[in-house]
Chain A
């Protein structure tokens, strides 16, 4: 029974990214004065060492595994959905900055629900309006919290 080195590419990639970021930050910290850089550099070294240990352990463990477990492949649909929703959220923050909270929230909730497959006009309008009214009553009127302002409202 041979010992074949098996590499979990996803794990190696994520840990590799962490190590790369740590090395970059370590080089940034080199420009700090001695007293200031000691603590963050200690943390960065610890993180790199831990990531290397995890990398070795993962490789050894997956190589030892006799049977090849079927790797669950993520479908493109899931990836596209996550990226799109994340992008809509980023756009929302941008809109809040430019136009203000209430108008942006109405557009955002409508757009997000529509993208996710909600087609009933009543639901789309009720949630967009209800969310704004609820937030206004609870946070602005009752808790007196100020909302982000912009070109509109």
Chain B
């Protein structure tokens, strides 16, 4: 648990390395662990990386993860004012509180919601898979159509291998290694990590032209541990903001498709609206740090609620965690809270305990994490690539999987260059086999008349309407005005 928190914080603090990449890299190493420990480790890495992102946001004005972009606004101002320690302390406390409340929400809301999943039959599960893909497609890519194409690509990859219904090999091109299908984990590692390595390669050209000022790279951190009075005053000033942002973060996390980066901006905006001193926002306000950090960490637990109960990942990170669940033979739904209750509840309680631990360890690690953010891209690149090789080899011990990882890495880079996001591809790969099975079952049950069959099932109709809404929302959103990216808002 402690190792997971430390690793997560460090990876999150490194600009350019995302929480999703960290989770996908570590999935293979959870394979040898018992499922509860493995799943817990992935959850801990997720939340610690989201918190770690605030360190570089505050010290370097470069969010370690997109979820920390809002924190950079006030955090970096405080660093310039010589109050980096206060800003880091506030981000640690707010992250721990947001994460803790999120864990409590997961514990209390997920089990009753999973009962609802019992009413689902094959057509509902097929439509849910399509809904999950639609939602991820609409939020992860600039264009929903490109997101859907990426999702279709993922579904297609899911068809590679021997068809379980009649035993016919599809798209294997004579390679016997492909008969079992394309291994999910190596493909996932490749899609998320190798494009990152190639992007860092591009960054090395830029940083040589515009070196980071020495004054920014050498921030002095003094007095991280506050006196009781200081702590009391800071808490008094921000507790309401932290609580409000945590609740907002939990709600945003439950909504499929939203994620930590959206939650942090919602939390920031609401904190500014409710604040007695809105004029201080953007100039080094403590509330401006507490709000986004509480909100983005509150997402980490609550985004698992739709994932564990209905199999809909709320974010790219949750999609990767779904892959982690599946390699341990766990399937989202009611069984997670009945047959596998010991695994699920151990993971949830572990998540809650880890939230408190993250607050404590955060204080100790911040100082060292602040040093780590200065590691150059040139050094990070071979380390990440070596970890990719180990991770893709670890599960089956086959070098073919390492080639799969590299191939998907290069494909992932070209997709990213053309504005196709990796998240829908991975989700398509995960949901593909389930979607095909449920589609075939539904066709049999519907006796060929799928639309008529769906129309007679109220839950199916509701999911169908949700799919239509998810498809149309981005078009209406575009008409109102393009949503600013985190980077653009930081630039302002």
What residues of chain A have their CB less than 8 Å away from a CB belonging to chain B?
A: 10-11, 14, 18, 25, 28-29, 32-33, 35-37, 39-40, 43-44, 46-47, 50-51, 53-54, 57, 77-78, 81-82, 85-86, 89-90, 92-93, 96-97, 101, 105, 108-109, 112-113, 116-118, 123, 127, 131, 135, 139, 143-148
Contacts and interface: CB of A to CB of B under 8 A. Distances in A.
B112 interface: no
Which bucket holds chain B's interface residue count? 35 or more
7 contacts: A32-B170, A43-B156, A43-B159, A85-B198, A86-B198, A89-B197, A118-B379
Given A33-B168, A47-B149, A50-B148, A116 B204 contact: yes
Contact of B385 (A51, A77, A108, A146): A108
Nearest to A58: B143
A147 B389 CA distance: 9
Most buried by A among B204, B382, B399, B402: B382
B378 A54 contact: no
Nearest to B379: A127
B436 interface: yes
Nearest to A98: B399
A123 B418 CA distance: 35
Given A82-B201, A96-B399, A143 B379 contact: no
Contacts of A144: 32
Contact of B171 (A28, A81, A93, A127): A28
Nearest to A54: B145
Given A36-B166, A40-B170, A123-B379, A77 B205 contact: yes
Contact of A40 (B156, B166, B202): B156
Nearest to B436: A39
B201 to A, nearest CB: 4
B204 A81 contact: yes
Contacts of B394: 139, 145
Given A108-B386, A118-B376, A135-B390, 19 more contacts: A29-B170, A29-B171, A36-B163, A36-B168, A39-B436, A39-B440, A47-B149, A47-B152, A50-B152, A51-B149, A82-B198, A89-B197, A89-B385, A89-B406, A97-B402, A112-B381, A127-B382, A127-B383, A148-B389
A145 B378 CA distance: 27
Interface of B: 29, 32, 143, 145-146, 148-149, 152-153, 155-156, 159, 163, 165-166, 168, 170-171, 194, 197-198, 201-202, 204-205, 208, 376-379, 381-383, 385-386, 389-390, 393-394, 397, 399, 402-403, 406, 409-410, 413, 418, 436, 439-440
A47 B149 CA distance: 5
A105 B393 contact: no
B156 A33 contact: no
B409 to A, nearest CB: 7
Nearest to B399: A97
B390 A139 contact: yes
A145 B168 CA distance: 34
A127 to B, nearest CB: 6
A101 B397 CA distance: 12
B163 to A, nearest CB: 5
B406 A57 contact: no
B59 to A, nearest CB: 23
B410 A86 contact: yes
Given A96-B399, A96-B402, A89 B409 contact: yes
> What 7 pairs between A and B have smallest CB-CB spacing?
A109-B382, A47-B152, A85-B201, A14-B418, A116-B378, A54-B145, A36-B163
B155 A10 contact: no
Contacts of A131: 382-383, 386
Contacts of B436: 39
A18 B399 contact: no
Contact of A82 (B153, B202, B385, B399): B202
Contacts of B155: 43
A40 B160 CA distance: 9
